């Protein structure tokens, strides 16, 4: 943009701003004018950034930094406001033709928007926002939630309801230009999200029409949200504000007089994979449930129970010989029984000498569940001595491979530590498929592993990946093969799998596994739904004569399956593999694509 063009753009922008801020402003702005205004403003800002990118004047650099931060602050408010309007106007019901046209030209606001007459184009406003802006669904849903908490809500009748966090909402939507330092809206937004995690789900739209008010209270009776707004107003730095807000919320959420059920959420959370050789999970339970786990740990630490004996050796480790156990002090040489001393036990674990399986504090059902598998499988001291000399699981290594390809190249400790015993006992409960007293079977976790033929031919160096994308090193792969129920699936050079489906509508379990072995997860590009939530779509519809066979099935998540049935996306076969053609407003090129997230 040259000087003349820059001057023309500034003049046009000045005229537009005058019209927008002057009297007699129409309640709505024409879509074409709005598109031109946004385009011109974005081009102007881009030109100014490029012009100042090489400045040698530090004052102009500070001006550029101030302008960038001001734009970021306003962009944060604009994104949440847009999410509010998308939800308020039910934008996800716009017809796909309307969305396709909007990608290329401004909205024709002289007529009503064209909407779907039946099933909407998208599941909800967040799904539309994620697709339109190419965002992860979680981020788009977070923006919609922010709009509900900070800008406004609607009841089932469509009437406006104040936001859930009214004090934080005022800070977010109406900034104080005289405040020093400036209170960034992103800080208010983050505070709102921290509070939302401690509050129950907002049922304003689903309930009776009254707004779901904050439940987390301070000791003085006021809402924590109100206190948090006061903290943000008075803080002199971001670090200070974050520290005080975190302390405020944590104190209210963990104090008996103010804590609510929603403030302490139970759950099992998978933490990010940071080590290729291990996984980490965060387990948060109630106090009573924690007592059950404490009982499990105590039983695992008690060497005089069958439970304690069963979990003292890690799965896959060879059992210690009688001489090794005697040397370590775990077996009484005169009786062959374990003596209860443990170098790994915690200092206060002396109470483990009592058989905690008979402790009346522990619920009876829990004791039965904890002991059932261990009582059956825990060997007696004599049986353990005989089995100790035998080999462990075979390692499947070809001849001539040295010790460098073993499961555990370094020297390992066969006697499990205290945390390992607790984990072994928990996994024993989870993976045992005996029927409970109520008639229901326990959950049986299923591990699906994807590997290539060359990996099976070279198990010393081959690796694999689980259905959830976790890398398995060669040692862990061989350990799994030793104990697994192996289901082979052989691919050709084009990743095609042989058909063995039958002409029935319900997809049999074996065929489901074959489809998952080929597709791994939802085939829609960018989808990250786990394999457990995948549904199986007939590419050639069943009602048109399509068969239930591998070549006519594609793995789709629930939302994508609905889109395919409604014709919003197309599933086609390319070289024997199902691909997806996305709508024009998402992919103007209309190219068959396939999800690479699972590769």
Tens of pLDDT, residue by residue over 554-592, are 999 988 888 888 788 999 999 889 999 999 888 888 999
Identify the pLDDT of residue 454: 72
Does residue 371 carry a pLDDT above 50?
A: no
pLDDT confidence of 23, banded at 50, 70, 90? low
At a CB cut-off of 8 Å and minimum separation 6, what does 394 contact? 482
Q: 266-269 — which CB contacts under 8 Å span 24+ positions?
A: none
**Residues 321-344: tens digit of each pLDDT:** 444 444 444 434 333 444 443 434
pLDDT confidence of 440, banded at 50, 70, 90? low
Same domain, 201 and 321: no
**Residues 220-279: tens digit of each pLDDT:** 999 999 999 999 999 889 999 999 999 999 999 888 788 887 777 777 788 888 887 788
**Residue 319 burial (CB < 10 Å; 0-12/13-18/19+)?**
buried
Same domain, 94 and 202: yes
In angstroms, the CA 469 to CA 447 distance is 11
Q: Where are the alpha helices (DSSP H) in 389-526?
A: 418-431, 453-457, 474-483, 509-519
In which domain, by residue range, is 571 found?
Answer: 494-599
Same domain, 408 and 458: no
Does residue 428 carry a pLDDT above 90?
A: no
| 356-385 mean pLDDT | 36
In angstroms, the CA 254 to CA 248 distance is 10
Same domain, 289 and 356: yes
pLDDT confidence of 40, banded at 50, 70, 90? confident
Same domain, 77 and 33: no
Q: Who has greater pLDDT, 374 or 495?
A: 495
3-state helix, strand, coil in the chain (%, to 5): 45, 10, 45
pLDDT confidence of 58, banded at 50, 70, 90? very high
Same domain, 198 and 287: no
Q: Where are the alpha helices (DSSP H) in 151-237?
A: 166-173, 185-198, 224-234
Residue 321 gets which letter from DSSP? P
Do the domain assignments include residue 444?
Answer: no
At a CB cut-off of 8 Å and minimum separation 6, what does 392 contact? 316, 317, 318, 319
| 142-157 mean pLDDT | 92
Do the domain assignments include residue 259?
Answer: yes
Q: Name the domain count of the chain.
A: 5
Q: Give bridge partners of residue 497 from the DSSP assignment.
A: 491
Same domain, 366 and 466: no
In angstroms, the CA 401 to CA 282 distance is 38
3-state secondary structure of 554: strand
**Residue 111 burial (CB < 10 Å; 0-12/13-18/19+)?**
exposed
Does residue 437 carry a pLDDT above 60?
A: no
The H or E element containing residue 295 is helix 287-301
Q: 535-542 — which CB contacts under 8 Å span 24+ positions?
A: 535/561, 536/507, 536/512, 537/561, 537/564, 537/565, 537/571, 539/571, 539/572, 539/573, 539/578, 542/505
Identify the pLDDT of residue 532: 83
Which residue, among 303, 369, 377, has the nearest Cα to 338 in the 3D structure? 303
In angstroms, the CA 339 to CA 539 distance is 64
Identify the pLDDT of residue 530: 79
Identify the pLDDT of residue 494: 60
Q: Who has greater pLDDT, 8 or 526?
A: 526
Does residue 311 carry a pLDDT above 50?
A: yes
Identify the pLDDT of residue 386: 36
Q: Determine how β-strand 553-556 pairs with β-strand 570-574.
A: unpaired
Q: Who has greater pLDDT, 301 or 422?
A: 301
Q: What is the mean pLDDT of the chain?
A: 75
**Residues 182-219: tens digit of each pLDDT:** 899 999 999 999 999 888 888 887 765 556 788 999 98
In angstroms, the CA 202 to CA 400 distance is 64
Q: Give bridge partners of residue 270 from the DSSP assignment.
A: 281
Same domain, 43 and 63: no
At a CB cut-off of 8 Å and minimum separation 6, what does 51 contact? none
Q: Determine how β-strand 471-472 pairs with β-strand 464-466.
A: antiparallel
Same domain, 47 and 182: no
Q: Who has greater pLDDT, 230 or 348?
A: 230
In angstroms, the CA 563 to CA 571 distance is 10
Do the domain assignments include residue 488?
Answer: no
Q: 344-350 — which CB contacts under 8 Å span 24+ positions?
A: 344/415, 344/417, 344/418, 345/301, 345/418, 346/301, 346/418, 349/298, 349/301, 349/418
Does residue 13 carry a pLDDT above 50?
A: yes
Q: Who has greater pLDDT, 149 or 529?
A: 149
**Residues 475-532: tens digit of each pLDDT:** 667 666 665 555 555 555 566 554 433 345 678 788 888 898 889 899 999 888 878 8
Do the domain assignments include residue 501?
Answer: yes
Same domain, 64 and 47: no
Same domain, 526 and 563: yes
Identify the pLDDT of residue 541: 82
């Amino acid at each position: 943009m040259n000087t003349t063009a820059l001057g023309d753009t500034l003049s046009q922008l000045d005229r537009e701003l005058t019209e927008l801020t002057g009297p007699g402003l129409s309640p709505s702005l024409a879509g074409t004018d709005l598109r031109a205004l946004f385009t011109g403003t974005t081009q102007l800002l881009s030109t100014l950034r490029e012009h100042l990118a090489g400045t040698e004047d530090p004052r102009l650099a500070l001006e550029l930094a101030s302008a960038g931060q001001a734009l970021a602050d306003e962009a944060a408010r604009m994104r949440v406001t847009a999410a509010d309007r998308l939800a308020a106007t039910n934008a996800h019901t716009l017809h796909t033709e309307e969305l396709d046209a909007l990608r290329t030209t401004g909205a024709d606001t002289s007529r009503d928007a064209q909407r779907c007459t039946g099933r909407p184009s998208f599941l909800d406003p967040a799904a539309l926002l994620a697709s339109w802006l190419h965002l992860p669904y979680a981020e788009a849903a977070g923006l919609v939630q922010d709009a509900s908490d900070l800008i406004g809500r609607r009841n089932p009748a469509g009437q406006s309801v104040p936001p859930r966090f009214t004090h934080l909402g005022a800070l977010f939507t109406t900034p104080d230009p005289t405040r020093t330092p400036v209170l960034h809206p992103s800080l208010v937004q983050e505070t709102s999200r921290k509070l939302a995690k401690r509050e129950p789900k907002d049922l304003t739209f689903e309930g009776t029409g009254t707004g779901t008010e904050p439940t987390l209270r301070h000791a003085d009776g006021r809402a924590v949200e109100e206190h948090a707004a006061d903290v943000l107003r008075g803080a002199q730095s971001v670090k200070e504000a974050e520290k005080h807000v975190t302390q405020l919320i944590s104190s209210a959420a963990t104090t008996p007089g103010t804590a609510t059920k929603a403030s302490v959420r139970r759950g099992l959370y998978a933490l990010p994979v940071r080590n290729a050789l291990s996984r980490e999970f965060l387990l948060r339970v109630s106090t009573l449930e924690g007592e059950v786990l404490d009982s499990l740990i105590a039983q695992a630490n008690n060497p005089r129970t069958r439970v304690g004996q069963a979990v003292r050796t890690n799965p896959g480790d060879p059992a210690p010989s009688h001489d090794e156990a005697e040397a370590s002090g775990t077996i009484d040489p005169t009786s062959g029984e374990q003596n209860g001393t443990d170098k790994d036990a915690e200092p206060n674990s002396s109470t483990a000498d009592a058989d905690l399986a008979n402790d009346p504090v522990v619920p009876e059902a829990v004791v039965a569940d904890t002991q059932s598998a261990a009582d059956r499988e825990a060997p007696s001291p004599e049986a353990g001595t005989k089995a100790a000399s035998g080999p462990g699981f075979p390692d499947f290594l070809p001849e001539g491979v040295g010790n460098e390809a073993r499961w555990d190249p370094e020297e390992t400790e066969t006697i499990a530590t205290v945390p390992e015993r607790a984990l072994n006992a928990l996994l024993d409960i989870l993976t045992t498929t005996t029927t409970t007293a109520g008639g229901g079977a326990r959950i049986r976790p299923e591990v699906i592993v994807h590997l290539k033929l060359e990996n099976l031919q070279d198990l010393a160096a081959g690796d694999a990946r689980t259905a959830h994308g976790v890398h398995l090193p060669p040692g862990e792969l061989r350990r799994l093969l030793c104990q697994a129920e192996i289901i082979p699936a052989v691919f050709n050079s084009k990743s095609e799998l042989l058909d063995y489906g039958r002409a029935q509508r319900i997809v049999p379990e074996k065929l489901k596994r074959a489809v998952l072995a080929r597709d791994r997860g939802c085939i829609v590009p960018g989808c990250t739904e786990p394999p457990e939530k995948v549904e199986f779509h007939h590419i050639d519809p069943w009602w048109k004569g399509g068969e239930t066979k591998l070549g006519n099935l594609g793995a789709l998540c629930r939302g994508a399956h609905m889109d395919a049935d409604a014709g919003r996306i197309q599933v086609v076969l390319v070289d024997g593999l199902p691909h997806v053609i996305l709508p024009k407003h998402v992919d103007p090129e209309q190219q068959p694509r396939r999800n690479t997230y699972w590769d």
